[in-house]
Structure 1
Amino acid sequence: MKKLVVFNITSLFIALLLLGAMVSFSLKPKIYDIKNFGAKGDSITINTKAIQKAIDKCSKNGGGIVVIKEGVYSSGTILLKDNVTLQIDKSAKLLGSANPQDYQSIDTFVDATGQKRGTCLIGAMGAKNIGISGSGSIDGNGTAFLPENLFIKKKALGISGEDRFGGNRPFLLRFVKSTQITLKNIHLREAAAWACHFFQSSNILVDNVSIYNHANQNNDGIDLDSSHDIIIKNCNINSGDDAICIKSTSPLPTYNVKVSNCTLKSDWGAIKFGTESMGDFYNIDIRDCKIEDTKGGGIKILSVDGANIHDVLIENIEMNHVDMPIFVRLGERLRTYRTTDKQAVGSIHNVRIKNIKATTRGLDSSRVSPPSGILITGTPKHKIGALTLENITIDLPGGGKLSDLFEVPEDETRYPEFSFFNVLPAYGMYARHIKELKISSLDIKTETIDLRPETLIID
């Protein structure tokens, strides 16, 4: 009897081991190679249908990894589905088609510049547990959508009429009302518009992603739009427009955002809140980042369409060769998007900016020359709330004259850009219409004499 018990226990143990091995094997994600669905990496064949077939089958079978291996694969719009990760290997590139007719628009809207948006190379609508990974690249072929190139393409296709062919320039990546999104290790390049747009999406991780986006206009890096629970870390972003932009083109807020250990370079703004700002921005933590050679502003916090911005911490930021290191604006533009109702004027409160070390651009390369370090302004009827500046060091070229001491326009409803206020009557900080400004250790230096006052605070 004892031997029988031992045998049964041993058999059970072996059975459990075999079951564990089977479960472990079954947990390995299924791999779907797009070549098996007819894709060709010759840079000429348009592979939209083949890649979409692979994604659809992967999702239908419970999920897995759709792999793009060695080659250059041209494509129009492809849509990620539930439980699918698109993996682009190091020797592979997904290249956007040069033909606008190969793209589709999801959740079309008009942005703050009046342009129609919504087309994309890779998109997702209402998807969950999706991702893009691998050390390969996604290239939007953005120069193909320059007006002169679109004209040539339109003529070659025999398209006549006055319709704005290719006017809805495609984003590189666009995620709409989706959740559990992971972007990791991928290289994003040369979109026709924004590189990566998250709209009304959540539970997002962007880790070790590099972005180079200078092919066209409005070449943003990452746009977080009415989305929440987001981590962005270890990224390198070099963009023609805003590098990381927190915005809301709907009344829904953008919140619970953490950004860390990123290197940013931009021709318009590195860290930006707005300008599209209907929904609130709160619980935002941005830290330990470097901003290099940026023409349009280092940190820009803008509420002009009704957003209430609060509980924001930005700290440990190093800026080199930047225009206007800090710009905070509460305005009354009140633009609407997607047929929503106009919001009331918003607010800016409980914002803390600390441990900032910045060197501005020189007199010959500043958008406003001579430059200033900080501009903070509300409006006469709507003042900024509590704002704290701690341990701020800014090096400026100087060069201001007494003739620069003129009244700064209010421009309550104008597009919020620091350069529109022209030369400021203070070289270090000009602040007005703010209820509570707390300053601790503000160190402003100039290379040459500046005859403007260092700080000017006006009610």
Structure 2
Amino acid sequence: LDCMNTPNRDGIDPVDCHDMTISNCNIMAGDDGLCFKTSDKIGCYNIDAYDLMIQSLASGIKFGTDTYYCLKNAKIRDCAIKNVNRCGVSLETVDGAAVEDVIFERLDMTDVGAPLYITTGARNRLPRGNQPIRRSYIKNVTFKDIRFEQPYPFSFTKEIRENMVIGQSKDNLIENVNFINFDLKLPGGMRTIPKPPVVIDDKYPEYDRHGLSSGYAFTIKYAKNITFKNLKVTLDKKDARDEIAYFDYEE
């Protein structure tokens, strides 16, 4: 699938889909590569995606930004993500969706703007009709066997190469996320420590709208029970920041 020369053209967009398998695909997209969305009271669940090669001018794999109901019971594995202008994986719920029980496993990222972006917000765009406002949250997500190197040299957001995990508030937390077996090669080189990140509120979610990363590998805000196991980070240059920066964090 090659639509890379067409602006705002995603590769595959499953919208309110369930019991779905996506496999053995080569995706070259002018916007996001594989982008799940939900704009009704159905949601995306029971998803199995594997053996994908993704290139894109935005994010490689994404949930958003239409995010009203849910992304649940999804497994995305064995993917090569290369030449991606923004993030390898973006999980964004800003309209009320519940993101729960999602696994990303064996992802290899090269020439990608940044590895991961995970956020909850309060845009609250509703489906047509008299639909209630829902509370966005992310819970029980695992990233395992993730490799990332050589940030994309022509990324739109050259100053942010790190992993951003930014919740909206204590009521819109990012909770129970596991990062297991990571091998990250990051540029480092920052001589000062940036200000704490801001939340996305009702804005369109992008990983460069929170300010610079306060940690040289991860910045985490409004989150609970975030665990790391076998995290290896190699920096090109010395850095003044801590590896992981926490704000409004709960054990």
| Band the TM-score falls in, shorter-chain normalisation | over 0.9
**1:240 aligned to 2:30?**
yes
**Retained in 2: the 8 A contact 1:250–1:340?**
no
Determine the C-alpha separation between the residues in 2 that align with 1:284 and 1:319: 20
Determine the C-alpha separation between the residues in 2 that align with 1:438 and 1:380: 20
Structure 1 residue 216 displacement after superposition? 3.1
1:406-445 alignment to 2 at 5 Å?
Answer: 406-445=195-234
How many residues are aligned here?
247
Structure 1 residue 453 displacement after superposition? 2.0
**Retained in 2: the 8 A contact 1:431–1:456?**
yes
**Cross-structure match for 2:71:** 281
Determine the C-alpha separation between the residues in 2 that align with 1:447 and 1:230: 41
**1:448 aligned to 2:230?**
no
Structure 1 residue 340 displacement after superposition? 5.1
Determine the C-alpha separation between the residues in 2 that align with 1:385 and 1:425: 20
**1:370 aligned to 2:184?**
no
Structure 1 residue 406 displacement after superposition? 1.5
Structure 1 residue 346 displacement after superposition? 2.0
1:23-422 alignment to 2 at 5 Å?
Answer: 211-339=1-129, 341-361=131-151, 364-381=153-170, 382-402=172-192, 404-422=193-211
Determine the C-alpha separation between the residues in 1 that align with 2:37 and 2:176: 21
**Retained in 1: the 8 A contact 2:151–2:161?**
no
Question: Where does structure 1 lack aligned partners over 5 or more consecutive residues?
Answer: 1-210
Amino acid aligned to 1:405 = P
SS class of match (1:218):
coil
TM-score, normalised via structure 1 length = 0.52
Evaluate the alpha carbon distance shift between residue 448 and residue 263 of structure 1 in structure 2; reply closer, same or farther with a 3 A threshold. Answer: same
Relative contact order, CA 8 A, sep 6+: which one is greater? 2
Determine the C-alpha separation between the residues in 1 that align with 2:68 and 2:112: 28
Structure 1 residue 321 displacement after superposition? 0.9
Amino acid aligned to 1:415 = Y
SS class of match (2:245):
strand
Determine the C-alpha separation between the residues in 1 that align with 2:130 and 2:243: 43
Amino acid aligned to 1:439 = F
SS class of match (1:222):
coil
Determine the C-alpha separation between the residues in 1 that align with 2:184 and 2:125: 34
Question: Where does structure 2 lack aligned partners over 5 or more consecutive residues?
Answer: none
Q: Deviations over 1:13-64 (max 9, x none)?
A: xxxxxxxxxxxxxxxxxxxxxxxxxxxxxxxxxxxxxxxxxxxxxxxxxxxx
Determine the C-alpha separation between the residues in 2 that align with 1:227 and 1:330: 21
Amino acid aligned to 1:353 = F
Determine the C-alpha separation between the residues in 2 that align with 1:274 and 1:383: 17
Determine the C-alpha separation between the residues in 2 that align with 1:260 and 1:424: 30
**Cross-structure match for 1:457:** 246
TM-score, normalised via structure 2 length = 0.93
**Retained in 1: the 8 A contact 2:4–2:56?**
no
SS class of match (2:209):
helix
Q: Deviations over 1:246-304 (max 9, x none)?
A: 11021211111111111001111111011110111111010011000111110111111
Structure index of larger Rg:
1
SS class of match (2:208):
helix
Structure 1 or 2: more helix by fraction:
1
Structure 1 residue 342 displacement after superposition? 4.2
